[in-house]
Amino acid sequence: MGCCLGFGGARGFHPSFLLLSAGVELRGLAQPDNFMMKTLFQKVFVPALLGIALTVSQAAQAADGKGGHPKTDKWPELFKADLSNAVGGEHWKVENGVLVAKDHDTLWTKESYSNFVLDLEFKVEKESNSGVFLRSGDTKNVLAALEIQVHDSADGSKYGMVGAIYDAMPPSKSMAKPVGEWNHYTITCKDSKVKVVFNGETVIDADLNDWPEVKKNPDGTPNKFPKALKDFARSGPIGFQGLHGKAQAPVYYRNIKIKELK
């Protein structure tokens, strides 16, 4: 992820701008006595400009979190390989770069994070049930943090399906891959804004200020939270839920990287 997914990225760019510029040059140079120059522009420079324009447009989309996942090759890992920077590391294991829970306990970062982009891949088994906790206000209370759902089912409700902010906001569409295939999340927290890109599509674009009431979502549906989401902590540890649900089936995580935002 060479650039991070922000909330105020490039605006107003369109590939036709460069083509329009090319058109101006053509009108200036493609005189009747300069057939070769006209042909050169039409067959070489115009296609090249179009390619450049599309590339820039795609980069602008990626910067806005709409065009997919950024590159993370230069980003730091969230956890060290020996989990020495985690709380609860004895309840998890890392094998060949893949993180998986041994039991029910959540794995937490020792460090707190405020504004950041978290990028990761996950793979579920049948009836797996897990989640990624964001900026927890109390690691002893699962309802003190937002949870981005990770499992293979709808958990009985669209508010519990994979990609949802648990019990608060369902994903805009279902993007989950079949059981056994790797999925990709890019989760961005910036002040009150939370955005989730799931397998290349933005499925959550939320403003926690839209949740001013206790135990109530903006659409009027009830939730379980004893505190209004607008009052949730804006800084705290990040967590990965351990074996959960009736099946106690594992979820596998890899390439967990983070970029802090100012």
- pLDDT tens-digit profile of 79-114? 999 999 999 999 999 999 999 999 999 999 999 999
Architecture of domain 86-260: Sandwich (2.60)
- pLDDT tens-digit profile of 119-171? 999 999 999 999 999 999 999 999 999 999 998 876 778 899 999 999 999 99
Average pLDDT of span 247-252:
95
d(CA 124, CA 145): 22
- pLDDT tens-digit profile of 30-80? 444 555 545 544 654 444 544 444 333 444 444 444 358 999 999 999 999
Give Cβ neighbours of residue 107 (< 8 Å, ≥ 6 apart): 79, 83, 86, 87, 88, 89, 91, 92, 99, 101, 239, 240, 242
d(CA 4, CA 65): 8
β strands within the chain, DSSP E: 86-87, 92-95, 98-101, 107-109, 116-124, 129-134, 146-151, 183-190, 193-198, 201-207, 239-240, 251-260
Is the pTM above the cut of 0.85? Answer: no
Q: Which tops the pLDDT comparison, 22 or 173?
A: 173
Q: In this structure, are residues 221 and 160 in contact, taking their beta carbons and an 8 Å threshold?
A: no
